[in-house]
């Protein structure tokens, strides 16, 4: 009889240090739990310590290290997960003292990204960030070498071999990072060409940004459904952290024939690793070049205000802080808020992307921002230029058509570029 062996999840013990009574500490620990579960770890428990400053050798106090070792044994934990980035020395010392796998917040996020990366570009970006994180921690990954002591003989020989291996590993990683960057540069050239073509199209560019799992991809798909191009491919939509890593761009055509480009990209999270932000910088270029940002917020989350701050801080890091933005408070139905609710300043709206409510009002809000340069006019097009009339029917908002002896009179709203192009027919 064939025996089926089920994959057993690793059991994780969460470890946090509350520095100087940080008001966001418990929120951060709860998020660490969500990150651990997203990394397919079974959270066995958590332990915390209040400190004025972290311990340089262990991050936690030496007494807490002994307590943690006992907890790991009692809970049969396989891994200890720390809610901060550990230094190479802290990582090495904790591995020695606890004799189990050690993860910090950064390595946890990097692992999640590695699991979620589906495209070649995303995989290359994540590998680059992971190797850059790993490089200064090589010593901690070879603790056996550091245990060698003595002034000569076999101990010294082993130590020398270990040091030689460390140098070789470092060179191998540095070469791999160089190769990865070269591949990413080639992909970026293709992206630049695509962005240039989109820019030359003259279409306004709108980008979805926000905390991970706020509902950006759901909103993208809802907008695609409302578009005049319903055959457009939808993006992955799933209730999970970092479901989307790569940038997707869709052309949204409105009922009045106005059109804009909508992009969806990676979500943000508290203390997103610097190397990861740097690695995904080319992917986030769509955000930096947008005419308008839709800052999607999960209004049903009690921590939504902190998530807004984190997103705004990340936007500052990537150079997108000055772009006009609309705050789209999503999941308003779950928060018991009336939909739609638009503030008088035209800078925020409450919707439910999943329930498809408030979207019409959102589109009107977007239109007021990105189509403000449209021109209301009347044109008289000679009958022999029927192609111009067809063009405006497809690319402008035609309000009225009258057929006169000298041509077709159109009352319309068009882009400033089209207005200048056909200005000779304006009456």
Provide the pLDDT confidence category of residue 239 given band limits of 50, 70 and 90. Answer: low
Beta pairing partners, 412: 377, 398
Tokens 């024939």 belong to which residue?
257
Q: pLDDT averaged over the chain?
A: 84
Tokens matching residue 38: 């997203």
**Chain segment 247-288, per-residue pLDDT in tens:** 788 889 888 888 899 998 888 888 777 777 777 776 677 888
pLDDT for the residue numbered 230:
61
Q: CB-based burial of residue 59 (10 Å sphere; 0-12 exposed, 13-18 middle, 19+ buried)?
A: buried
What is d(CA 31, CA 43) in angstroms, rounded to the nearest whole number?
12
Tokens matching residue 35: 């990150």
Contact 243, 112 (CB under 8 A): no
427: CB partners within 8 A, 6+ apart? 378, 379, 380, 409
pLDDT for the residue numbered 371:
86
pLDDT for the residue numbered 153:
42
Minimum mean pLDDT among 61-65, 92-96, 335-339, 373-377: which range? Answer: 335-339
């Amino acid at each position: 009889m064939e025996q089926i062996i089920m994959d057993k999840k690793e059991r994780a013990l969460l470890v946090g240090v509350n520095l100087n009574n940080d008001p966001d500490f418990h929120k951060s620990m709860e998020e660490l739990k969500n990150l651990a579960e997203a990394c397919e770890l079974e959270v066995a428990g958590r332990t915390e310590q209040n400190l004025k400053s972290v311990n340089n050798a262990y991050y936690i106090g030496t007494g807490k290290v002994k307590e943690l070792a006992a907890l790991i044994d009692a809970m049969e934990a396989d891994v200890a997960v720390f809610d901060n980035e550990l230094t190479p020395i802290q990582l090495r010392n904790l591995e020695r003292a606890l004799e189990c796998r050690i993860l910090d917040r950064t390595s946890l996020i990097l692992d999640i990204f590695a699991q979620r990366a589906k495209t070649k570009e995303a995989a290359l970006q994540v590998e680059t960030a992971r190797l850059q994180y790993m490089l200064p921690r090589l010593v901690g990954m070879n603790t056996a070498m550091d245990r060698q002591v003595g002034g000569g003989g076999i101990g010294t020989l082993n130590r020398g071999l270990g040091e030689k291996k460390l140098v070789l590993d470092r060179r191998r990683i540095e070469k791999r990072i160089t190769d990865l960057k070269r591949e990413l540069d080639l992909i970026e050239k293709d992206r630049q060409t695509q962005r240039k073509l989109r820019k030359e199209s003259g279409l306004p560019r709108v980008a979805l940004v926000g905390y991970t799992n706020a509902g950006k991809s759901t909103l993208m798909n809802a907008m695609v459904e409302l578009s005049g191009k319903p055959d457009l491919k939808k993006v992955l939509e799933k209730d999970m952290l970092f479901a989307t890593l790569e940038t997707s761009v869709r052309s949204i055509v409105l009922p009045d024939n106005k059109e804009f480009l909508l992009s969806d990209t990676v979500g943000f999270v508290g203390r997103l690793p610097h190397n990861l932000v740097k690695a995904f910088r080319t992917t986030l270029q769509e955000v930096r070049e947008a005419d308008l940002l839709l800052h999607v917020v999960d209004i049903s989350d009690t921590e939504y205000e902190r998530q807004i701050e984190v997103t705004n801080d990340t936007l500052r890091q990537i150079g997108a802080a000055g772009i006009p933005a609309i705050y789209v408070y999503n999941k308003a139905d779950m928060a018991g808020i009336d939909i739609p609710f638009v503030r008088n300043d035209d800078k925020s709206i409450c919707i439910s992307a999943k329930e498809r409510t408030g979207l019409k009002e959102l589109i009107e809000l977007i239109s007021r921002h990105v189509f403000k340069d449209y021109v209301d006019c009347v044109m008289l097009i000679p009958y022999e230029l029927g192609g111009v009339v067809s063009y405006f029917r497809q690319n402008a908002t035609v309000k009225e058509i009258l057929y006169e002896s000298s041509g077709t009179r159109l009352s319309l709203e068009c882009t400033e570029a089209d207005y200048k192009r056909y200005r000779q027919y304006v009456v």
